[in-house]
A and B are shown apart, each in its own frame.
Chain A
Amino acid sequence: MSSIKLRASAKDGVTTVKALISHPMETGTRKDKKTGEKIPAHFIQEVVCEHNGNAVMTAHWGAAISKNPYLSFRFSGGNVGDTVKLSWVDNKGNSDSAEESIK
Chain B
Amino acid sequence: MTSMKRRIFLKGTLATGALGVAASSGLIAPRSVLAAWSKDAFEAKDINSSLSSLLGSSDLAASDKIKIKAPDIAENGAVVPVSVSTTLEGVESINIVVEKNQNPLTANFILGASAIADVSTRIKMGKTSSVLAVVKAGGKLYSTGKEVKVTIGGCGG
By a beta-carbon cutoff of 8 Å, the part of chain A in contact with chain B is 14, 25, 27, 29-31, 33, 45-46, 48, 51, 54-67, 69-77, 87, 89, 93, 95, 97
Closest 5 CB pairs of A and B: A66-B122, A56-B112, A60-B108, A74-B116, A62-B42
B138 at the interface (CB under 8 A from A): no
- Interface class of chain A by DSSP: strand
B113 contacts across to A, CB distance below 8 A: 56
By a beta-carbon cutoff of 8 Å, the part of chain B in contact with chain A is 2-3, 6-7, 10-11, 28-29, 32, 35, 37-38, 42, 78-81, 98, 101-103, 105-116, 118-125, 154-157
- Interface class of chain B by DSSP: mixed
- In the assembled complex, the Cα of A73 lies from the Cα of B96 at a distance in Å of 14
- Besides A27-B156, A59-B109, A93-B11, 9 other CB < 8 A contacts? A56-B115, A61-B107, A64-B98, A64-B103, A67-B78, A67-B79, A93-B7, A93-B10, A97-B3
Residue pair A69, B112 in contact (C-beta under 8 Å) = no
B122 contacts across to A, CB distance below 8 A: 65-66, 69-70
- In the assembled complex, the Cα of A61 lies from the Cα of B96 at a distance in Å of 10
Residue pair A65, B123 in contact (C-beta under 8 Å) = yes
